Amino acid sequence: MKLAKGSTPWISVPIFLTAALAAVGNWQISALALAGSIFMIFFHRDPDRFPQGDGMLSPADGKVIEASADRVTVFMSPSNVHVNRAPLDGFVRNIEYRKGTHMPAFLNRARENQQNRMHLVTDDGEMELRQITGTLVRKIVCYVRPGDQVSRGERIGMIRFGSRVEVSIPSGYNLRVYEGDRVRAGETVIAARNS
């Protein structure tokens, strides 16, 4: 199983703790540490994805909690893959980090949480992708930098534990998802060009 970039410390600590506790015969706490290790491996999984069809791809796995003509918001629960992907081919113009609140990511007020705002210049215009943290851990990892070229479906970062990703829809695109839909980063088409 492929693991997300930079996940080794998050996985190795509970594995080391499991082994240390088992070595001293503390089996009950060792079992809890083992469960934590399994969760960390599961959480940091990073499966290969293959873009489907033409159009703008979902930047995140999870449930669509907002879908409008100009924006789609995806909520990622702890069971979702948390690696984020580029919706379209483009150029990273800038990335802006903003401090903020720490509301649960599924609430509308979470729009003011700590976040990275990534501005992408695409053939269809500029778009903004926001990686927004939730209540726990609140760690955003960005794999790209200003000046980088990204390809549709390419890994661009991850957010640890409950979180959400918002992405603007360029003009000339029609929405293909609705609130409540389940989407997969780098595979599900969330908007397509007008024909």
Dump pLDDT digits (tens) for 45-96: 899 998 878 899 999 999 999 999 999 999 999 889 999 999 999 999 999 9
Strands in 70-124 per DSSP E: 71-76, 83-85, 90-98, 115-122
Between 5 and 156, whose confidence is greater?
156
pLDDT confidence of residue 172 = 92
CA distance 191 to 129: 14
Contacts of 105 (CB under 8 A, 6+ apart): 75, 76, 113, 132, 133, 134, 135, 162, 163, 164
- 168 catalytic, yes or no? no
Nearest residue to 84 via CA among 65, 59, 110: 59
How confident is residue 17, by pLDDT bands cut at 50, 70 and 90? low
Amino acid identity of 160? R
pLDDT > 80? residue 41: no
pLDDT in tens, 88-140: 999 999 999 999 998 988 888 999 999 999 999 999 999 999 999 988 767 89
Between 143 and 194, whose confidence is greater?
143
Four-CA torsion 153, 151, 130, 178, nearest 10 degrees: -40
Between 116 and 33, whose confidence is greater?
116
Options 58, 163, 171, 195, the catalytic residue? 163
How confident is residue 30, by pLDDT bands cut at 50, 70 and 90? confident
CA distance 135 to 23: 34
